[in-house]
Amino acid sequence: MSKWLVQHFILGGYTVILMAGMIGTGKTTYAEFLSQQLESEIYYESVVDNPILPDYYKNPKRWAFPLQIYFLNTRFKTIRQARTNPDNVLDRSLYEDLIFAELNFDSGNMTQLEFDTYKDLLETMMNEIDKMPKSRADLLIYLDSDLDTVLERITQRGRSYEQVDKNPELLAYYKTLHGKYKEWIKAYDKTPVLIIESKEYNIFDKQDQDKILSLVNTELKRLHSLEGEPALMNETR
Residues marked active site are found at 91
**CA distances in angstroms from 137 to 72, 134, 230, listed in the order given:** 18, 7, 10
Closest CA to 52 of 40, 69, 33: 69
CA atoms within 13 A on the CB side of 189: 3
DSSP line for 61-72 = HHHHHHHHHHHH
CA atoms within 13 A on the CB side of 78: 22
Neighbouring residues of 130: CB distance < 8 A, sequence distance ≥ 6? none
Neighbouring residues of 196: CB distance < 8 A, sequence distance ≥ 6? 141, 142, 143, 144, 212, 215, 235
Q: Which residues in 162-178 are b (16+ Cβ under 10 Å) and which e?
A: bbbeeeeebeebbeebb
Other Cβ atoms within 10 Å of 234 Cβ, number: 11
